Amino acid sequence: MTDSEPARALYAPQRHDLIVELARREGRVDVVKLSERLGVTPETVRRDLTSLEQRGLVRRVHGGALPVAQTEHEPSILQRLDRGTAEKQRIAERALLELPTEGSILLDSGTTTLAMARLWTDDAALTVVTNSIAMEAALIEHPRTEVHFIGGRLRKLTGAAVGHWTEEALRDVVLDTAFLGTNGFTVEWGLTTPDPDEAEPW
């Protein structure tokens, strides 16, 4: 069945799955268009949308419905490595232009900051402080870069050291520049992460 073909004789759960998929893909669904596509009456579509709204999957609006944002389980660092690689590369290239000519910097855990480490050169003799085992591994071959690994509880999902030991180690660290990874950013809340321990040191 293609998107343009009416989905006739579907059971209600099948219609519901299709409606949610269309809402997420297209940003909204329209009662009249759904009625034509699904081969059912507009009243049936409205009942479907009401049921989906009660389950928290869509939000009813005049004439149709909008998808409700679904919070994805936090992906692991390995899963994130292949996401947005071109964008991370551009961010990393731009961030490297902000490196001081000397001094100490912090490279936080994350795949965007890891992209920086993978583009690293020994143009400047820098001390790098990091809580990321992946970062440490990426910088180990650079003789002019001194790496200080901050220990703590290893959060396996991100490969980051977090927790009380990490916080204590950071209290005495003086840095010239810091490059922080984050799961999200808003003007109102700033940098955000779903893990309290990972957020706490910064």
Amino acid at 175: L
pLDDT along the chain (202 residues), means of 10: 52 91 91 94 95 88 84 72 90 94 93 95 90 93 93 89 89 92 80 74 53
Nearest CA to 5 among 16, 18, 23? 18
CATH number of 77-199: 3.40.50
- List the domain boundaries for the chain: 12-67, 77-199
Neighbours of 34 (CB within 10 A): 24
Kindly give the residue spans of alpha helices, DSSP state H, lying in the chain.
Answer: 12-26, 31-38, 42-54, 77-80, 85-96, 111-118, 133-139, 164-171, 196-199
CATH number of 12-67: 1.10.10.10
Instruction: Give the Å distances, CA to CA, from 167 to 105, 106, 127, 178.
Output: 17, 14, 19, 15
Question: What is residue 124's predicted lDDT score, i.e. its pLDDT?
Answer: 78
DSSP 85-107: HHHHHHHHHHHHTT--SEEEEEE
Separation between Cα atoms, residue 174 and residue 169, nearest integer Å: 11
Please name every residue paired with 179 in a beta bridge, in sequence order, or none if there are none. 107
Question: What is residue 72's predicted lDDT score, i.e. its pLDDT?
Answer: 53
Question: What is residue 8's predicted lDDT score, i.e. its pLDDT?
Answer: 52
